[in-house]
Chains A and B, each alone.
Chain A
Amino acid sequence: DGGITQSPKYLFRKEGQNVTLSCEQNLNHDAMYWYRQDPGQGLRLIYYSQIVNDFQKGDIAEGYSVSREKKESFPLTVTSAQKNPTAFYLCASSIWQHNEKLFFGSGTQLSVL
């Protein structure tokens, strides 16, 4: 089955710790995205990548970092600089950079210990 796989499903972060959320897709999509979802809020864009080895900041990039070394993979690191990291994180992809239709993974719930 083609799709987007996010892991882990649940993740806990200690104070001062960096954690990395995995996102892998086998849809052969060019563009990939990371969104943050807080209860009762819409989706907010953290980072996006339109092609390999290139990425841009979204609306709330502070405290996060990404890499795009392979077309299939777009990991998100939540750094210790992100003071309020507890949220549901969604990875998505689209066929190419000018296509607005998003395909989402099942998300990772990050909580602070």
Chain B
Amino acid sequence: GENVEQHPSTLSVQEGDSAVIKCTYSDSASNYFPWYKQELGKGPQLIIDIRSNVGEKKDQRIAVTLNKTAKHFSLHITETQPEDSAVYFCAASMTSGGGADGLTFGKGTHLIIQP
């Protein structure tokens, strides 16, 4: 089955700096790559996603890039703010018919924004 590796497990950056979280996946058939943000005591929330026919996607301060050849994708957060502090999960989906049951999640990155 699919295997998703996520790095680093903890990332501390100064407020205003950029943060990058990286994930690799094992199955070249995977075609959907979402990122979820989980604040303390809450459930994860989808913040951005990308499909395999696109190399990059941006939404204000966040962006995701995908390298299908190398089988890795990354989350980029620019001009970090205190509210960006959270655990971020990447995931990959290889279900041919779509559906969240095919998602495999990484182990998460705890992002800490230092004031």
Interface residues in chain A, defined as those with a beta carbon under 8 Å from any beta carbon in chain B: 4, 6, 31, 33, 40-45, 48, 50, 56, 58, 90, 92, 94, 97-107
Report B-chain residues with C-beta under 8 Å of the C-beta of A90. 43-44
Report B-chain residues with C-beta under 8 Å of the C-beta of A50. 99
Report B-chain residues with C-beta under 8 Å of the C-beta of A103. 46
Q: Is the CB of A92 within 8 A of B101?
A: no
Report A-chain residues with C-beta under 8 Å of the C-beta of B99. 31, 50, 94, 97-100
Q: 12 A–B contact pairs at CB < 8 A?
A: A48-B101, A56-B101, A58-B101, A97-B99, A99-B99, A100-B34, A100-B99, A100-B100, A102-B44, A102-B46, A102-B103, A104-B36
Instruction: Check B98 for interface membership: any CB of A closer than 8 A.
Output: yes
Q: How far is the CA of A33 from the CA of B4 in the complex (A)?
A: 20
The 3 tightest CB contacts between A and B, nearest first, are: A104-B43, A42-B105, A98-B98
Whole-angstrom distance between the Cβ of A111 and the nearest chain B Cβ: 15
Quick one: which of B41, B43, B100, B102 contacts A101, CB cutoff 8 A? B100
Given contacts A42-B105, A100-B32, contact A105 B100 (CB under 8 A): no
Q: Is the CB of B44 within 8 A of A104?
A: yes
Mark B1-44 against chain A: 1 for CB-CB distance below 8 A, else 0: 00010100100000000000000000000001010100001111
Report A-chain residues with C-beta under 8 Å of the C-beta of B89. 42-43
Report A-chain residues with C-beta under 8 Å of the C-beta of B45. 104
Q: Is the CB of B107 within 8 A of A42?
A: yes
Report A-chain residues with C-beta under 8 Å of the C-beta of B36. 102, 104
Instruction: Check B97 for interface membership: any CB of A closer than 8 A.
Output: yes
Report A-chain residues with C-beta under 8 Å of the C-beta of B95. 100
Q: Is the CB of A99 within 8 A of B43?
A: no
Whole-angstrom distance between the Cβ of B58 and the nearest chain A Cβ: 18
Quick one: which of B97, B105, B108 contacts A40, CB cutoff 8 A? B108
Q: How far is the CA of A99 from the CA of B34 in the complex (A)?
A: 12
Known: A94-B100, A98-B99, A100-B49. 4 other contacts (CB 8 A): A31-B100, A40-B107, A42-B108, A107-B41
Q: Is the CB of A41 within 8 A of B44?
A: no
Instruction: Check B85 for interface membership: any CB of A closer than 8 A.
Output: no
